[in-house]
């Protein structure tokens, strides 16, 4: 097989990017050789794009399956360790999440795990993603701690969220602590505000009547129709001039792809329960204490089942004693209604898509209307229509 190895080297050398001499770095190579002394064999660490390399993806799938895991659709890239034609270890990257980490049983207990996890961090860094998260079961926490990950929050017995820095959540909470306000009842509201409606305004006003200070968080994950910068701007404009309110930009620690994944562990029911639990426990254990938050206000949800589930879970994970951190009171506020129908951001998006600014005007504050008009309303008609549909039907 010697000739095969030589051939691989030549191929690999052709594919590799030139080495940057100044910065003395060798990352970005499609392969790296790694001599596993314990096994007395050579392993190749490579990157693998599951969308391009179908054969490779099938091998990864087999390895994952043998280890009780499934390959996930959203993985952009794998780091794999190959011994000749076999894949013996893999780790996947999906945005800021490390997923699908598996090592064949005969390669465990070597330093291969370290190499693999180091390599995936380097790969992510090359793609501009320095801050990584992963989900694992509590009994695997020690393994990932050895690979440079640190525990953020744990749903006891089910799942644990980890990040690849010892100071991530601590730094975030320190930055929040600087914005702490005095008072007995400190409220909080988490908004996606896609876009900011009279319903949101009503929620904030009602919440504010019931507490000394209100912290408003805007979800920063850019999965929504209206982009984060615009949404934050809409909220700030809509709440401008209101006393006793702080508007916070969102973070990776609050309703983000990291804290709220559609992650799949074998038992679907466990995951559905866990996916909201991680986010809510993180809020209770880290964010709320940093700001002294005692209450979380939420609009009741007449339409969307998923949001309703989140609201129900909220009282479970925030209020229940026994979990870490002081309980946070969840206050559900009836939705603001216009003409007998609860105002909903998704309705507003649908109306905007249809270009119906008149009805929209009755559902959103003037600040939102003006901004949405400026952004989407003044374009040439036919194009605007098409673009609006494109834009608004996605979310």
Partner 1 sequence: MEIKKEAMCGTLESNDLLVKVAPRAGLEIVISSEVLRQFGARIREVVEETLKHMDVSQGQVVIEDKGALDCAIRARVQGAVLRGCECEELDWRIL
Give the integer Cα–Cα distance in Å for 96 and 99.
10
Task: Calculate ∠ Cα 42-43-46, nearest 5°.
Answer: 145
Report, in Å, the least distance between residue 112 CB and partner 1: 11
Report the alpha-carbon angle 49-55-58, nearest 5: 90
Give the β-pairing of 133-136 and 97-103: parallel
CA–CA dist 361, 368 (Å, integer)? 9
The residues with which 46 forms a beta bridge, in sequence order, are: 31, 80
Cβ-based nearer residue to partner 1, 5 or 17: 17
Q: Which of helix, strand or coil describes residue 337?
A: strand
- Please report how close the Cβ of residue 202 comes to partner 1 at its closest, in angstroms: 39
CB nearer to partner 1: pick between 46 and 163: 163
Q: Given the complex with partner 1, which of 23 and 378 has the nearer CB atom?
A: 23
DSSP assignment string, 349-383: HHHHHTT-HHHHHTTS-HHHHHHHIIIIISS-HHH
Q: Please, which residues have CB within 8 angstroms of residue 356's CB and are 6 or more apart in sequence? A: none
Chain residues that interact with partner 1, rule: CB under 8 A: 21-25, 111, 114-115, 117-118, 121-122, 125, 130, 146-148, 165-167
Return the number of other C-beta atoms located less than 10 Å from residue 281's C-beta: 23
Q: By C-beta, is 150 or 335 nearer to partner 1?
A: 150
- Shortest Å distance, C-beta 312 to partner 1: 39
C-beta of 64 vs 176, nearer to partner 1? 176
The distance of closest approach from Cβ of residue 171 to partner 1 in the complex, given in angstroms and rounded to an integer, is: 8
Nearer Cβ to partner 1, position 69 or 123? 123
Q: Which residues pair with 338 in a beta bridge?
A: 341
* Minimum distance from residue 114 beta carbon to partner 1 (Å): 5
Least gap, CB of 118 to partner 1 (angstroms): 5
The residue among 183 and 249 lying less far from partner 1, judged by its C-beta, is 249
* C-alpha distances out from residue 302 to 240, 333, 341, Å: 28, 12, 10
Least Å from the CB of residue 98 to partner 1: 15
Measured at the CA of 65, the angle between CA 159 and CA 95, to 5 degrees, comes to 55
CB of 146 to partner 1, least distance (A): 7
Kindly tell me which of 111 and 362 has the beta carbon lying closer to partner 1: 111
């Amino acid at each position: 097989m010697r000739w095969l190895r030589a051939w691989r080297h030549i191929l690999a050398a052709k594919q590799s990017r030139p080495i940057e001499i100044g910065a003395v770095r060798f990352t970005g190579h499609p392969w790296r050789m790694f001599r596993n002394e314990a096994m007395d064999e050579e392993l190749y660490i490579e990157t693998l794009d599951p969308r391009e390399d179908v054969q490779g993806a099938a091998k990864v799938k087999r390895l994952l399956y043998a280890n009780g895991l499934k390959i996930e659709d959203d993985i952009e890239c794998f780091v794999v360790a190959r011994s000749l034609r076999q894949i013996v270890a893999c780790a996947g990257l999906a945005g800021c999440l490390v997923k699908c980490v598996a090592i064949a049983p005969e390669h465990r207990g070597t330093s291969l795990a370290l190499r693999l996890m180091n390599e995936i961090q380097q790969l992510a860094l090359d793609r501009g993603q320095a801050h990584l998260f992963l989900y694992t079961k509590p009994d695997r926490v020690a393994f990932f701690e050895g690979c440079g990950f640190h525990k953020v929050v744990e749903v006891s017995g089910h799942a644990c969220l980890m990040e690849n820095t010892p100071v991530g959540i601590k730094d975030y909470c320190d930055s929040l602590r600087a914005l702490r306000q005095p008072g007995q009842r400190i409220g909080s509201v988490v908004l996606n505000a896609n876009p900011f409606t009279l319903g949101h305004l009503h929620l904030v006003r009602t919440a504010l009547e019931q507490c000394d200070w209100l912290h408003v968080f805007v979800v920063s994950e850019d999965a929504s129709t209206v982009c984060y910068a615009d949404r934050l701007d809409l909220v700030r404009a809509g709440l401008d001039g209101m006393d006793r309110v702080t508007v916070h930009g969102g973070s990776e620690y609050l309703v983000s792809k990291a804290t709220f994944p559609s992650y799949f562990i074998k038992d679907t029911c466990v995951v559905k329960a866990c996916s909201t639990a991680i986010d809510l426990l993180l809020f209770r254990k880290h964010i709320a204490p940093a700001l002294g938050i005692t209450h979380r206000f939420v609009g009741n949800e007449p339409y969307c089942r998923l949001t309703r589930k989140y609201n129900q879970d909220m009282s479970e994970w925030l209020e229940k004693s026994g979990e870490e951190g002081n309980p946070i009171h969840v206050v559900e506020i009836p939705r603001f209604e216009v003409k007998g129908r609860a105002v909903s951001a998704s309705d507003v998006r649908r109306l905007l898509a249809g270009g119906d600014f008149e009805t929209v005007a009755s559902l959103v504050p003037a600040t939102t209307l003006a901004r949405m008009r400026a952004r989407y309303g003044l374009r040439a008609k036919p194009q605007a229509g098409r673009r609006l549909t494109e834009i608004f039907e996605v979310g």
